[in-house]
Amino acid sequence: MLLSSLWIWTTCLILGASAQSTQGILDLVQRRLPDHVNDFEFQLVTNGTGNITEPSNDNYIVSSTADGKILVAGNSLSALSSGLHRYLTDVVHVDIFWYIGSQLDVGPSTLPTLNSPITGSSIVPWRYHFNTVTFSYTAAFWKWEDWELELDWLALRGVNLPLAWVGQEKVLLDVFQEIGMTDDEIIPFFSGPAFQAWNRFGNIQGSWGGQLPIEWIDNQFELQKNVTKRMVELGMTPVLPCFTGFVPRTISRVLPNATIVNGSDWSGFPVEYTNVTFLEPVDPTFAVLQKSFISKQAESLGNITHIYTLDQYNENNPYSGDLDYLRNVSYNTWQSLKAADPEAIWMMQGWLFFSLSSFWTNDRIEAYLGGVENDSDMIVIDLFSETAPQWQRTNSYFGKPWLWCQLHDFGGNLGLYGQIMNVTINPIEALANSSSLIGFGLTMEGQEGNEIMYDLLLDQAWSESPIETATYFSNWVTRRYAGNGVVTNDLYTAWEMMRTTVYNNTNSTVQAVTKSIFELEPNITGMFRTGHHSTTITYSPNILIEAYTLMFNASKTNPDLWNNPAYQYDMVDVTRQVFSNSFDGIYRSLIAAYTSSNASNTTISSIGKNMTSLLTTLESVLLTNSAFSLSTWLSAARAASTNTTLESFYEYNARNQITLWGPDGEINDYASKSWGGLLSGYYVPRWQTFVDYLMDVPLASYNYTELNEKFLGFELNWQEQGVNGTVQQGSQVGSLQNILEGVGRWI
């Protein structure tokens, strides 16, 4: 009966949807499967597709035609790409991955036909992707080629609601120029390329180390045109920026009577770079600037969306906690959006209700959200649903439509980590208990490793019951290592071990992806942390060593695995975590030796050499893969310009973000990375300084302030090392096997 109904459904072509074309999906096949572009047919059909305010779930059916082609029918372009992905992963066993690229073309030369149709239906209409800060932590220096891969990845995984922040400074520049501000008044307000997200959030203003050039502003907006055009071609609804209210302080010259307030201090930054000026939405000029922004943006990008991202109090307290004040702020903001675009929907992150929960009591949340009097005109992103959901305490955001999202990663940290139970069971329970839940999404701060955790939630959006993760991991491994013969049992066993341990954290004190303590400024205390900036692992290190051994031994059964980019990446990634875990033990022994009653410099020196030896060995492993190399990040930054001065500024920005994060280390080591080049050039010198200090200073005289001054001098100098354009290069990928053969003492 189900199949019969589906076949009836596939005969109903969309009425009035001639503007939609399947060409974008065909182009995806042409890019990624050029030899099979004639083997697929796509048919856009309808079963009562909804609209932007009342969207319907997506459906697809994949079958074989009489002449042996693969027919994918669906009620939206996103449904078509999801159906295509289902066929490629479940039948052909190939996929497209972060840091590895498309492996869709490693399948058989003749595509398998289907004996029976494959069907799929989403359980939520929206599948969301991106955190505002992902555009700085991961995509700050992306080129169009990077975005092409990203957008194909998103399309195949059914994402239909992506954030599109690239280049918004160009629109804001034009808006401020229109009211008579000069470039000299506007440009100093903008932050550097690696920090623009927090300027957009109103956390910081200005740029240290140099000024954002017009070249960057213009080039990024041209990139945004390509990004949003491709999003639309792939059936996605971009979420675009709008005017938030954050303005340069110099706006008072042209608007001397404007109602403005200064925001709160953020993360200890000096006033020069924070306390951002906010134009109150009750001021009539707010609506004027809003209309100008949205109209100018639409002129350049087209009328491609009605959903706008707008966050006014991300980690900043409002000027007042008065309920009427909060309600008036959101009401007038909402009215400005509706005046500029009558169909506008305001999307905001719900992170503020968690991060500043002492301020955001339920009555204040209700007042602020209540200013948007039509519930369907707002979407709230429950940013950290897997660990710190806010939808329950806010009664489903008091009726506003909302998205269940997995944050998972802070600052682009690289530890192996996941909460498979929370990501599968909790969203299904939320859907059953909240009538205003309209989508699932990914809101990682940095889009780095642990890709399987993100796949898992996006696939959960197509399953009415919690996904059975053992089978899911097994199938994922099959397509992960496709193209190099039979996947060995050792690989399946290794990933099953990681599934039940590394990716099955149930310790509520460890809330997100971990980072290694060797990435932190050394100290004799405070190195092991919990919370959502954790360095504490929740599984036995021996389990990961067993998994590593199994993965390495798989190449002895199938040596061709060394030619598989996914295997190369995973061997580096797992080795990185094994070494990170081992470093913890060495550090503990160092501190035990230093704090013992009979502390010996000989012992401290020996342990210190062991620490640096481990890091040096790990460096050689990391440098075999560009995904784990500092030079990849720095080279991308320098490639953003051909002007030597700007190249150096961009590199300074890139270096500063992953280390000091601020002119003087205001958020030091937050966005740290286990990258080759960063270990030898930054972390090892800090640890050597630490060991030398311990040998020179007895425990009774230990002074962290004194030690910190030593670190800061080195760290500030390291920021400037790119002025000559010297970027450390990695070794050849082919050497990974030989290097791993020789790391036995650490495994």
* φ, ψ dihedrals at 511, nearest 5°: -105, -10
Half-sphere exposure of 376 (CA within 13 A, CB side): 8
Q: State how far the Cα of 406 lies from the Cα of 662, in Å rounded to an integer.
A: 27
Is the pLDDT reported for residue 502 higher than 80?
yes
Region 152-174: mean pLDDT is 98
Paired with 440 in beta bridges are 127, 404
Instruction: Report the pLDDT value the prediction gives residue 48, as an integer from 0 to 100.
Output: 53
Region 684-702: mean pLDDT is 97
Q: State how far the Cα of 135 lies from the Cα of 191, in Å rounded to an integer.
A: 13
C-alpha pair distances (Å), 181 with each of 173, 190, 251, 262: 9, 14, 7, 19
| Sequence-distant (≥ 6) Cβ neighbours of residue 584 within 8 angstroms | 517, 528, 537, 541
Q: Which helix (H) or strand (E) holds 424?
A: helix 420-433
Query: What are the boundaries of each domain within the chain?
Result: 2-121, 126-467, 489-746
Closest by CA to 132, choosing from 173, 99, 98, 162, is 162
Instruction: Report the pLDDT value the prediction gives residue 468, as an integer from 0 to 100.
Output: 98
Q: State how far the Cα of 310 lies from the Cα of 241, in Å rounded to an integer.
A: 7
More confident residue, 502 or 485: 502
| 700 pLDDT tier (thresholds 50, 70, 90) | very high
Q: 478 near 486, Cβ under 8 Å?
A: no
Region 654-676: mean pLDDT is 98
Region 414-428: mean pLDDT is 98
Is the pLDDT reported for residue 16 higher than 80?
no
Q: State how far the Cα of 84 lies from the Cα of 65, in Å rounded to an integer.
A: 15
Region 531-540: mean pLDDT is 96
Instruction: Report the pLDDT value the prediction gives residue 378, as an integer from 0 to 100.
Output: 98
DSSP 535: -
Tokens for 214, please give them: 């017009």
Residue with tokens 């929960």: 357
Instruction: Report the pLDDT value the prediction gives residue 99, as an integer from 0 to 100.
Output: 96
| Sequence-distant (≥ 6) Cβ neighbours of residue 557 within 8 angstroms | 488, 490
Residues 22-65: pLDDT tens digits?
999 999 999 999 999 999 999 999 755 567 677 899 999 999 99
Instruction: Report the pLDDT value the prediction gives residue 55, as an integer from 0 to 100.
Output: 81
Instruction: Report the pLDDT value the prediction gives residue 6, as an integer from 0 to 100.
Output: 39
Instruction: Report the pLDDT value the prediction gives residue 11, as an integer from 0 to 100.
Output: 36
Instruction: Report the pLDDT value the prediction gives residue 50, as an integer from 0 to 100.
Output: 62
Q: Classify domain 489-746 at the CATH class level.
A: mainly alpha
Instruction: Report the pLDDT value the prediction gives residue 723, as an integer from 0 to 100.
Output: 56
| 746 pLDDT tier (thresholds 50, 70, 90) | confident
Region 103-108: mean pLDDT is 94
Q: Taking all residues of the chain, what is their mean pLDDT, rounded to a whole number?
A: 94
Residues 450-463: pLDDT tens digits?
999 999 999 999 99
3-state secondary structure of 474: helix
Closest by CA to 498, choosing from 555, 547, 425, is 547
DSSP state string for 241-308: E---SEE-GGGGGT-TT--EEE----TT--GGGSS-EEE-TTSHHHHHHHHHHHHHHHHHH-S--SEE
Instruction: Report the pLDDT value the prediction gives residue 49, as an integer from 0 to 100.
Output: 55
pTM for this prediction: 0.96
Region 208-235: mean pLDDT is 98
Is the pLDDT reported for residue 221 higher than 80?
yes
Topology of 2-121 in CATH?
A: Chitobiase; domain 2 (3.30.379)
Strand pairing class (240-241; 402-406)? unpaired
Instruction: Report the pLDDT value the prediction gives residue 20, as an integer from 0 to 100.
Output: 75
Dihedral of CA atoms 145, 146, 148, 154 in degrees, nearest 10, equals 170
DSSP 371: T
Region 462-480: mean pLDDT is 98
| Sequence-distant (≥ 6) Cβ neighbours of residue 269 within 8 angstroms | 204, 662, 666
Topology of 126-467 in CATH?
A: TIM Barrel (3.20.20)
Residues 326-354: pLDDT tens digits?
999 999 999 999 999 999 999 999 999 99
Q: 581 near 746, Cβ under 8 Å?
A: no
Residues 238-256: pLDDT tens digits?
999 999 999 999 999 999 9
Region 94-119: mean pLDDT is 96
Beta-carbon count within 10 A of 117 CB: 17
- The strand order across the sheet containing 40-44 reads 40-44, 70-74, 59-64, 118-121
